[in-house]
Structure 1
Amino acid sequence: MIHKLLKKTKKDTNIPLKDLLQLLDEWNALYNKADQAYWLVNLAERRFIFVSPSCEKICGVPPEAFYQDVEVWKKIIHPEDREKIQKKRSVLWKGNSFEHEYRIIHQRDGTVRWVLDQTFPAFDENGKPAILSGVVTDITEIKKMREKLLLAEKVYEHVQQAILITDENGFIQFINPAFTEITGYGSEAIGLSLDFLHSGYYNENFYQTIRKTVIEKGQWRGRLRGRRKNGEVYVQQTTITAIHDQEGHPIFYLFIFSENEKTATNLKDDLKLAQEVQKRVLSKPLKTESIDIYGMYVPSEELGGDMYAWYQIDNDRYGIFLMDVMGHGVAASLICMSVRSLLNGVIRKCIYPKEVFHELNKHMRLLYHEDGRMNTYYFTAVYVMVNTKKRFIEYASAGHPPGFLFHQNGLVEELDQGCAPIGLLSHLHVETGKLNYAPGATLVLYSDGVIEGPNSSVRTNIEMFREKLKSFIHLENKSMITRMHKMFKEEYQFTDDISLVVAKLH
C-alpha cells in the first residue's frame, strides 16, 4: 500500500486531498508492516491526522503520542543527528519532499536504530500543498549489512594474500588488489574464465582433478605454477574453497593464494651448502660405445628441486631420469634428495616408465600425504629407458615439458606421452611412448626453467628452445653442453633452476 501511495504522490503532484483519503481507504489505512510506519500530517493545522500502528514497533511510541504532540519525533531522533536532521526537515512545512537516513532511539528498549525517512506532499484542488505523506522504514539490518560489506571490502583491499572469487561456472566475479599485485591483471579479469590464468605447465586432466577434489571435499590446497601478465612464471600456495547455498549447491568458488616467500637472509649460508650437496648427487658423465650421456645444472639464487640421474640397467639398457619438485627452498630440496636416495633401486627393479612412475608415486603418497591433505607436495619428471641393442627408447612424462629426440635426417620428435605429476593423485594412469632411432640420434631432456621467459605461451617457448638446440645438436656432448651453458648465462634470467641432459645415441 505504501509503495503504491508513494508512487502515486510522486507521479501526480496535484493529487486532491479527497482522492488521497480515498486511496488510503482503498489501500487499507491500517497498514501495519513491522519495519515501516506510514503517517499523514495536515499542513494547515500542523497536526498528525494518521499514524500507522507499526510506528510503535519501530520507535517505541504509540500513534496517540503523535496526535497529542506533533514535535514528538524530534525527541526520538538520536542526539548526534538531531540538529542536522531538524534543519533538513524544516523544508517539510513548505510542502517540499524529504528523504534521508539517520538514527533514532527506541523509546522503550533504548536501542539505536537506523531509519530511512521519506516524505512527499499532497495537494488540494487549488494546487497548494495540503498534506504531507511519509514513510519511515527501519533499515538497521540493512545498515549492518552495509557495514559488514564495507568491512569485508576493506579487508579484501588490504590483505596481502590474493583473493579471487568465481561463479559456479568458473567466471571471475571479484579480485582484490593483492591479486593484481601478484598477477598483474586488474579489472580486465572480471567476467573472464579462469583459463587465461593457467600457466601452461599442466594438462586439462590436472585441473579436472582439482575441480573434482573441490566438489567432493569442499576444498583443495596445494602449490601451483602461475603465469603473470608479463609472462613470468611463479609458484603460488593456493587454497580453493567451494561456497554453497542453503540447498548445498556450489554457487561460488573462493581462491586464496600467495606467492612463496624467498628464503630468509640468515639461512643463505646453509642454502649454499645445500645447493652444493644437491649438485654433488647429480650423475657424472657416462660414455660407452653405444651411448654418451652428459648433464648440466645451473641453480637459481634459491635452493630448488631440480635433479637428474642415469643408470646402466644391464648391458643394453639405460635409464635416464630428470625431475623438478614444485616450489623452492628446503622442502623442495628434501623431497628431491629423498627421491634420489631410492631412484637407483626403483629404476633397476622396475625398468619401464609405467612401473617406475607408479613406484615413485607410491613413495610420494606414503611420505607426504599421511595427514590427509591432498595435492601438497608433488614433482614433475621425465623418464626414458634406452635400449641400445634394439635402438628404441620408451618414455613417459609426468607433467614435465616434452623432451626431444633429434634424428640425423633432421626430424625432431617430442616426448609428449605421460601422466599427471608424481604425488598428485593416489593412482596414476600412465601413457608411455616408444620411438625408434638410428645411430647418430640425440636425446635432449630439460627442466621448465629453460622455457620460462617473457612470452605468454609455453608452447612458443618450447618451440623457440627446440630451434636453438638445432644449432648445437651436431656438436659432441661436452662441447654442446658448454655452448648451451654459455647461452643460458647470456640470455636467461634465472628465476628457476635449469637442468639439461643430452644423450648421444650411437
Structure 2
Amino acid sequence: MNNTSLNILGKWHQRYRFQLILLILLLLDCYNLIFVDKKFAYEFVVDLFTQCVILLPLYIMHRQEIDNTRKLQESEQRYKSLFLYNNAGIYVVNLDGSLNTASPNLLELLGYTEAEIQNTLFSSLFRPEDRRLVQQTFADIIRGSLRSTSRKLQMRRKDGEYLTFDLSSVPLKADGEIKGVIGFAKDITEFERMQRRLADAQTQLNNIFGSIDIILWSYDADENKLLTISPACEKIFGYSPEEYYEYPGLWAAQIYDGDKALVNNRISAASKKIPVDTSLEYRVIHSSGEMRWVESRLFSSYDERNRKTTVNGVVLDITHKKLVEKNIQTDLDLAREVQKSVLSPPIYTPAFSIDARYIPSKSLGGDMYAWYRIEEHRYGILIMDVMGHGVSSALICMSTRSLLRGIIQANLSPEEVITELNNHMNKLFKGAVPAANFYFTAIYLLVDLKNRTIEYINAGHPSGILMDGNGKISELKSSCLPIGLIPVLKAEKQTILFKGPVRLLLYTDGLIESPGRLLKKQLDLLSEVMRETKDKPISMVMDTVLASGKADKQIELDDVCLICLEIQ
C-alpha cells in the first residue's frame, strides 16, 4: 500500500474511530445475546443503556476535540499566512517599548536573528531624529488615545543601511486589555527609490517643458476638452495655460479668419482617423493684436479599444522664419528681374530675325541667352544652362554674361569663344570650390548671312532644331563636353551651309525634360510644331511650343529658355 493510501486511511480512522468503537460494542452485545445467553433479559437492556449513557458524554467530548483541533489547525494556518508568508513583516512590541517578536521576513530584511533583536527597544531601530516620534506614537496607542497609525519611516539594518518601511500599528488586546502593539512593516525602499527617480525625471521634464519656446498640447476630441498645454503658450499666443483651460474656445478664436477653415478641417480629420499632413503653417492673432505665424504638427492617438481619440500637437512660432523668407523672396524677385534685364532684345530685319522667351522657375536659375551683331552680316548667338538652381547658378550665369559682349564682338571663332568661356569657369573657382562641381552646357552659333553659313559648337547642350524651306529637319547635336568640367576643353566647330530660308530653334532642357516621357518623343513634338507653324511668325512658333509644353505639364520645376531665329 502506498503512502497516499495510508494517509487517507489514517485520516478516516482519526475522524470515525469513536463511531467504530460504538459499532463494535453493539455487535458484541448482539453476539452475547444471540450466541451466549440466547435469551432477551432485562439485564441486557440495562447494560446496553448504561453503555450508551457512559459513551454519549465521551462522544460529545470527542466531537469537541475534533472541532478544537480543526480550529487550532485553521488558526495555525492563519498564523503562518499572516506571520510567516505575508509580504509585509510583522512586529509585536511590549508595553515597555521593547520588541517582543518579529516575523522571519522582517528579521531577514533587517539582517538580525530573533535572539539579537528580541527585548531591544523598538525605537532604537529607527533614525535618531524619528525615535521620539515612534515612542510618542506607541505611547498614544498603549494609552488608547490612538487606535491606529500609518507612517513612512526608515529602519536601520544590522549593517547600518536604512530601509524605508510603510508602518501600520494597532493595539494588541487580550481579555479586553491592551497588552502591547502589533503592526505591519512593508518594505517600500525600492518603490520610494523609483518614486524619487520619477520625481526627478518629472522635474527635469517640467523644467524643459517650461523653458522651451515650443507649445506642447493635448486635446480630447471626444470630450472637446483641452487636456494640457505648456507654458510657452503665454509667449507665443499671449495667454497663460490657466486661461486656455478656463476658456476652451480661446485658442480657436485666435486663429486668423482666413486660416480657420483649414485648421478646423485638419483637426476634424485627425480626430476621425483620416490621414492628414503632420505639419501645417497658419496665422494667429497674439493677445497684443500682432499677427504671428505658427507651425503646427498633429499626432493622433487612440485608446486600447481604438475608440477614444486624443489629438496631441506641437506649435512653433515661425514668425521670424516667415519674415526672413519674405525678405529672401523679395531679393530673389529682384535678382530675377536683373537677370531678365540683361537678356538681349529681339532683332527683326528683312534678312534676319531673332526672338526669345524666358520662363523662370520659382527660384533663381542658370538659364540665359545673348546675341550680338559682330558685323553687318554676322551675328554671334549663345544659349546656356548652368547646372542646378539657386543663387550659385545665377551668379555663374551673370558672371559669364559680363564677358560675352567682349568675347563675341572680338570676332573670335566658335572654338575660341568656347575656350575663353571654359578658361573663365576654371579661373572663377580656382582655389575655392572644385570646378567640376560647377559647369554649364551651351550652344554657340556664328551666323554669316553673306556666306550663308552657320558655324556652331554644342557643348553638352540639348540639340538645336534646324528646318529649311522645304520643312526638312536637322539637329545641331552635341560635339564636346560641357563648359567648366575639365581644364582644357577640345571643341571643334560644325558648319551648316544653306541656300533658301531656314528657321532654327534653340532651347534649354527645362522645355523637353518631363518625368515619364521619352526624350525622342519630346524632340519629335518640337519638330512637328515647327512644321505646323512654318508659315507663322517666329513669335507664334515659340508661343505654340510653350503652350504644348504647359498642356503636358512639362514646364513646372525648371527654367525654360527658348530662342527662335529665321534667315531669309
> TM-score band, normalised by the shorter chain?
0.3 to 0.5
The normalised TM-score by structure 1 is 0.46
Rg bigger for which structure? Answer: 2
The normalised TM-score by structure 2 is 0.41
More helix by percentage: 2
